[in-house]
Amino acid sequence: MSLIERYIVGQDEMKIWGWRRMGTVLFSVMAIGTTRYACAEQTSPYAFATEYVRELYETEKARASAEQEIRESTSPDEQDSSIIHASTLIKLELASQIGMLKDMHLNSPFDTLLPNIIELYQEKIELHQKMIDTAKVFLAGPKPNVNYGDLAAKVPEIRASLDDIDHTLFKVTQMVLLQMMDQRPDFKNHLSHLLVTKAERSKLINDIEIEFGEKLDRKGQNYGVSSAQLIHKTFFKKITNAWTILGSDYLCQSGQPTCSED
């Protein structure tokens, strides 16, 4: 059994996440895979990672723009309009990203990683649609038989669900890094060789630095930026040990907001 297989199926190792969603994602990565991908051409690990980084940036750009637009709203109606506009833009961006990922395919043991990411994106689209629907009700003005208190109470629930998905995607980022490693162990039976050239590594580092800028140096960032920080640190410091990438100690040392002792 390979290192990545032992990690994914090992019960003791699974405790490292201390979190319900990641178990499903990790176990499904080892699944046989659906027949619709059976004849698909393998996407290079670097090409997938590059697209994933692009999506992190586009999502962060949309999130930051939405946050600013809502913050600058001067009335409840203007705020509702901003929520509708911002969530619609995010939905469109996520739909575009799903389209890009559907054209890609990864071989086993990562063959279900892409479908899992797509499913998470689709869940985010549904949640943003709920935000849009709620804002539209308030924007339409008072109507009989509408419990506005219950509607208002659902907004933080939706936001918590979005945070939960982003937390999952942050953990998935580690799998994105692992799929860039040669699954053939070295003489110590470790995964220690990245499947990228020196030029590809340099370009990936440069792209992240250009797109995320000073956010890379800040601690306590949201999960999207934290994912970019994790990828950047892995390649900038030439970290090629799989356990280091997966380990909770590494996450804590890199200043991520998801560190825990459980």
Calpha distance 162→22 (Å, rounded): 15
Q: What are phi and psi of 181, to 5 degrees?
A: -105, 140
Q: Please report which residue ranges of 72-197 form alpha helices under DSSP H.
A: 76-102, 113-139, 148-178
Q: Contact, 53 vs 208, CB < 8 A?
A: yes
Q: How many helices (H) and strands (E) does the chain have?
A: 11, 0
Structural domain contains residue 215: yes
Structural domain contains residue 261: no
Q: pLDDT of 166-204, one tens digit each?
A: 999 998 998 898 888 776 776 666 666 677 888 998 999
Structural domain contains residue 229: yes
Q: Contact, 242 vs 191, CB < 8 A?
A: yes
If we measure between CA atoms, which residue out of 202, 236, 199 comes closest to residue 216?
A: 236
Structural domain contains residue 258: no
Q: At CA 115, angle to CA 112 and CA 117, rounded to 5?
A: 110
Structural domain contains residue 260: no
Residues spanned by the domain of 22 = 3-253
DSSP 176-211: HHHTTB-SS--TTS----BS--HHHHHHHHHHHHHH
User: Which pLDDT belongs to residue 40?
Assistant: 61
pLDDT at residue 41 greater than cutoff 60: yes
Q: Contact, 88 vs 69, CB < 8 A?
A: no
Q: Contact, 227 vs 169, CB < 8 A?
A: yes
**What does the mean pLDDT of the chain come to?**
78
The tally of domains found in the chain comes to: 1
pLDDT bucket at 142, cuts 50 / 70 / 90: confident
Calpha distance 236→177 (Å, rounded): 13
Q: pLDDT of 210-246, one tens digit each?
A: 999 999 999 889 999 999 998 898 887 765 554 455 5
Interval 16-45 mean pLDDT: 51
- Amino acid at site 193: H
Structural domain contains residue 119: yes
Residues sharing a CB contact under 8 Å with residue 193, sequence separation 6 or more, in sequence order = 181, 182, 184, 186, 240
Residues sharing a CB contact under 8 Å with residue 244, sequence separation 6 or more, in sequence order = 250
Structural domain contains residue 31: yes
Calpha distance 52→54 (Å, rounded): 5
Structural domain contains residue 157: yes
Among 6-20, 70-84, 89-103, the minimum mean pLDDT is found in 6-20
Report whether the peptide linkage leading into residue 156 is cis, meaning its omega lies within 30 degrees of zero.
no
